A and B are shown apart, each in its own frame.
Chain A
Amino acid sequence: QQQVRQSPQSLTVWEGETAILNCSYENSAFDYFPWYQQFPGEGPALLIAIRSVSDKKEDGRFTIFFNKREKKLSLHITDSQPGDSATYFCAASGSNYQLIWGSGTKLIIKP
């Protein structure tokens, strides 16, 4: 199985709060997990990525927490801003070139 699952499907948080987006996968051969941010009418853009040898990756307000044993990861966005409103995709790949994508979480930040 190569599925990547994301939850919730949509999430609304207030400006300044922390948004938590979840992702899980089934294929234990996956070792690279990028998160992409997509605004309406645009292509996705890489936001932050983690390798399976790490359990945490931080970049400014964005942090990935990775649990290899449970095959789960989460993206935490602290101090959420209205400009963070977008759809976030979790993806995964192994030794081949394919990125397997989750179905996305639509994040809305209320001012």
Chain B
Amino acid sequence: GPKVLQIPSHQIIDMGQMVTLNCDPVSNHLYFYWYKQILGQQMEFLVNFYNGKVMEKSKLFKDQFSVERPDGSYFTLKIQPTALEDSAVYFCASSLVGGGFYAEQFFGPGTRLTVL
């Protein structure tokens, strides 16, 4: 099936540093998402992105977070500065359409972020 790739698979950084998580979504998909999962617990929605804009974001999407997808390249999540509570696995997802029954979201394998 369609594949979403995430780079890197694991990132360790010191608190206060900047980190960029990269996502290569399914090639013809138009909607992109970031989710946060702590220690195999429930997935928590962070943000979705369409046509160069943030469509929705949750309370977890702090001011230190930003997303972009310049010129059809990677869809990125940047955290600057990082905090200890940002340690989690971050999943990227993409879908062809947004919302509802036909908007199947395809997930990448995740990036494990460890903030020391």
Contacts and interface: CB of A to CB of B under 8 A. Distances in A.
Interface of A: 31-32, 34, 36, 40-46, 49, 51, 87, 89, 91, 93, 95-104
Contact of A101 (B43, B103, B106): B43
Contacts of B103: 97
Given A93-B99, A103-B41, 12 more contacts: A34-B104, A40-B40, A42-B110, A43-B4, A43-B91, A43-B93, A43-B108, A49-B104, A51-B101, A95-B100, A98-B45, A101-B45
Contacts of B55: 97
19 contacts: A32-B100, A32-B101, A34-B104, A40-B40, A42-B109, A42-B110, A43-B108, A43-B110, A44-B43, A44-B91, A45-B107, A95-B99, A97-B31, A97-B48, A97-B98, A100-B45, A101-B43, A103-B42, A104-B41
Interface string B13-57: 000000000000000000101000000111111001000000110
Contact of A99 (B4, B40, B105, B108): B105
A59 to B, nearest CB: 13
A98 B42 contact: no
Nearest to B48: A97
Chain B interface size, under 10 / 10 to 19 / 20 to 34 / 35 or more? 20 to 34
Contacts of B105: 46, 99
A93 B42 contact: no
Contact of B109 (A36, A41, A93, A103): A41
Please list the 10 inter-chain residue pairs (A to B) with the smallest Cβ-Cβ separation, ordered nearest first.
Answer: A43-B107, A101-B43, A103-B42, A101-B42, A97-B99, A97-B48, A97-B98, A98-B45, A32-B101, A43-B109
B54 to A, nearest CB: 11
Of the candidates A41, A43, A99, the one having the most CB atoms from chain B within 10 angstroms of its own CB is: A43
Interface in B36-81: 40-45, 48, 55-56, 58
A69 B45 CA distance: 27
Nearest to A6: B42
Nearest to B6: A43
Nearest to B91: A43
